[in-house]
Amino acid sequence: MKNMGATERVIEGLPDETQKLLQTYVKEVKEVFGDHLEGLLLYGSAVRGEFLRGRSNLNILLLVSSCDSTVLKQYSALHRRWSKEQIVVPLFLTEEELRMSVAVFPLEFKEIQEYHRVLDGRDPFIGLHVKTDRLREAVVQGLTSHIVRLRQRYVEGGGTDEATTILLPLSITSTIPLLRGVRRLLGRPPLSHSDAVISDVGEQLNLDLQGLLDAWLLKRGQISPGPREVPRLFDRYLQATILVTRAVEQLPQLEPR
C-alpha cells in the first residue's frame, strides 16, 4: 500500500474509480467526526483482491472516541449518500469495545485483523491479540446458523429460481469467513482468494464442496445456471455446508494462545 497523503492511500487491486471514491469518503467522514474519529479501516473483499464493482460491498470499521446517538446521527446523512456507492453501514467501535469484541467474536475479528487497510488514523489491531481457543465452537455455530437460515430464506423466496440465485451469493459471502476459520483449525496458511479457500478445505477434509464453489462462481457472475439447474445447485450447496459442519465438529479444538 502506497501512502499518497492523509486521505489518499492506495489499495492495490482496486479500480481507480473506487480508489477515488474512497478518498472522497474518507475526507467527508473526517469532516463530520473531527477529533472523535481515531481510525478508519477498510476490510473484506476490497483488501483481499476480490472486489467487483457492482457486486461487492465496501466494508468499513470506524474507531471512535465515543459512540452514542449523536455520533450515529452524524453518520446517518453520510449513509444515505454512500450506501448508493456500495459502502455498507460501518462497524462503530471504541477502543475498549473493540478489545471486548475480539473475545466474543474471534472468528470475525481475526478475519478483519488479517485483511484490512488503514485509510486514516491509527491501526487498533497492532499489538491486539485475538484468542482462538473457542474457534471451533464459533465455526460450528456459524455454519449451523447458516443452514437453518438458508432453509428459512428459501421458503420465504417461494423456492423460485430468481430468489435462489439471489440467496446463494448472499449465503456464500457469509460462509467464506467460516471456511477460513476451518483452515485455521487445520493449521493451514492464509489464503486471500475464496475459491482457493473452498478447494483447500475440500481437499483437507476429503469432501466434495463443488456446491460451495458453484455458489461462489454464481456470486462472481462466472456461471448462469438454467431453470433446471438452480434447484440442484441449492441442494448441492446445502449438502456441502452440512458435510463441512459435521466434519468440523470432529476436529480438535485449538490450544489456548
pLDDT at 21 over 90: yes
Please tell me the CATH code under which domain 135-249 is placed. 1.20.120
Q: What is the pTM of this model?
A: 0.85
- At 6 the pLDDT is 42
Name the residue ranges covered by the structural domains of the chain.
2-121, 135-249
Contact 169, 45 (CB under 8 A): no
The pLDDT-based confidence of 54 (bands split at 50, 70, 90) is confident
Percent of the chain with pLDDT over 70: 95
pLDDT at 206 over 50: yes
Tell me, what amino acid is at 37?
Answer: L
Mean pLDDT value across residues 138-154: 96
Tell me, what amino acid is at 122?
Answer: R
d(CA 137, CA 208): 23
- At 77 the pLDDT is 87
Ordered DSSP codes for 78-114:
HHHHHGGGTBPPPEEE-HHHHHHHHHH-HHHHHHHHH
Tell me, what amino acid is at 246?
Answer: R
Q: How many CB atoms lie within 10 A of CB 29?
A: 22
- Beta pairing, strands 59-64 & 91-93: parallel
Comparing CA positions, the residue from 67, 88, 115, 68 lying closest to residue 25 is 88
Contact 92, 64 (CB under 8 A): yes
Contact 168, 215 (CB under 8 A): yes
Contact 161, 230 (CB under 8 A): yes
d(CA 249, CA 139): 9
DSSP percent split of the chain into helix, strand, coil, nearest 5 = 60, 10, 30
- At 5 the pLDDT is 43
The pLDDT-based confidence of 183 (bands split at 50, 70, 90) is very high
Q: How many CB atoms lie within 10 A of CB 7?
A: 17
CATH C-level class of 2-121: alpha beta
